[in-house]
Amino acid sequence: MKIFAIGDLHLGHAVDKPMDIFGPQWKGHTDRIAGNWRARVGAGDLVLIPGDVSWAMRFEEAEEDLQWLDRLPGRKIFIKGNHDYWWPSISRLRDRIRGTSLFALQYDAVTIGGASVGGTRLWTLPDLEMPYEDPLDVPSLQSQGAPERSHDEKIFRRELGRLKLSLDSIDPQARVRIVMTHFPPTDESGRDTALTSLLENGGADLCVFGHLHNLGLPRGRTWDFVKKGVRYVLVSCDSVDFTPYYLTEVTES
């Protein structure tokens, strides 16, 4: 089973949200993702999607996006990103996608074909100098400006707990132990953070994340590095050229 990852699909089949306002590289991104996906991913493979799945605001509006995703080859595991306002309760979402090729995580884990995968959204790192601005943020939120720092820290602390829950849910005997987060747990240099310590001590082999867009990375050169035994990979769709990014392969037992 090959394992791929691609985040921030920002689908919008039922909502009017042209993506090329964020740059020409986004033009026709949904069709390009589908084409690249079908060329690379087989039916028995696994694709990890670390959040920002759809622009839909209500669950019903995300229906077409979920169907589109289900039709693509492979099994898919996804988590919630900061733009997934459509996300209902996890029980309602799991009821909807039961029996499909989709699986949703919410600070827990699932083991598929020798890979155990956990995940949570995370939040902006309070101790890391990273740009707060989300270039894909909706105007109504942009106009409110950045939240108070104390508010950020409260959410961040809650997400630390959720990351711990995710790690505790991962099967320690799995061939590969993967954590998906939407927000990055570190920066491009792999700087130590509260999150990287948790990942190192929690037995994660790999952490895939998204959220960062339009970084101007050379084509095919996303962040992909190992620090203190954990491999960190940025897979927001524009960072991986709108193509599912190959991570590793595991033999199913």
DSSP string, 162-221: HHHHHHHHS-TTSSEEEEEESS-SS-TT----HHHHHHHHTT-SEEEE-------PPTT-
Nearest distance, CB of residue 135 and Fe ion, angstroms: 9
Helix (H) or strand (E) holding 75: strand 75-78
Task: For Fe ion, give the closer residue by CB, 116 or 232.
Answer: 232
Rounded to the nearest whole angstrom, what is the least distance from the CB of residue 83 to Fe ion in the complex?
Answer: 6
Token pair for 191: 């700087």
Task: Show contacts with Fe ion in window 30-69 (CB under 5 A).
Answer: 52
Sign (positive or negative) of CA dihedral 43, 209, 12, 59: positive
In whole angstroms, the minimum distance from the beta carbon of 144 to Fe ion comes to 16
Asked if residue 182 lies in contact with residue 51, where contact means CB atoms within 8 angstroms, the answer is: yes
Contact residue for Fe ion among 30, 54, 82, 181 (CB under 5 A): 82
**CA dist., res. 67 & res. 102, Å (int):** 10
| 121 is an interface residue for Fe ion by CB under 5 A | no
Residue ranges in 152-191 that form contacts with Fe ion under rule CB under 5 A = none
The order of strands in the sheet holding 46-49 is: 102-104, 75-78, 46-49, 2-5, 245-249
Please pick, from the candidates 8, 65, 84, 159, the single residue that binds Fe ion as defined by CB under 5 A. 8
Q: How far is the CB of 219 from Fe ion (least distance, A)?
A: 19
- When binding is defined by CB under 5 A, the residue of 12, 50, 74, 81 that contacts Fe ion is 81
Distance, CA of 180 to CA of 6 (rounded, Å):
11
Q: Of the listed pieces 78-86, 101-109, 144-152, 237-245, which binds Fe ion according to CB under 5 A?
A: 78-86
Residues 198-227 that bind Fe ion (CB under 5 A): 211
CB of 159 to Fe ion, least distance (A): 14
The residue among 138 and 226 lying less far from Fe ion, judged by its C-beta, is 138
Give the C-alpha separation, 246 to 225, whole Å: 14
Residues numbered 128 to 147 that lie near Fe ion (CB under 5 A) are none
Of 1-9, 98-106, 155-163, 237-245, the window that binds Fe ion (rule: CB under 5 A) is 1-9
* Residue 13 Cβ vs Fe ion, minimum distance, rounded to whole Å: 17
Q: Which residues sit opposite 6 in a β-bridge?
A: none
> What is the distance between the alpha carbons of residues 48 and 78, in angstroms, rounded to a whole number?
6
Minimum distance, C-beta of residue 253 to Fe ion, in the bound complex (Å): 35
Applying CB under 5 A, which residues contact Fe ion?
A: 8, 52, 81-82, 211
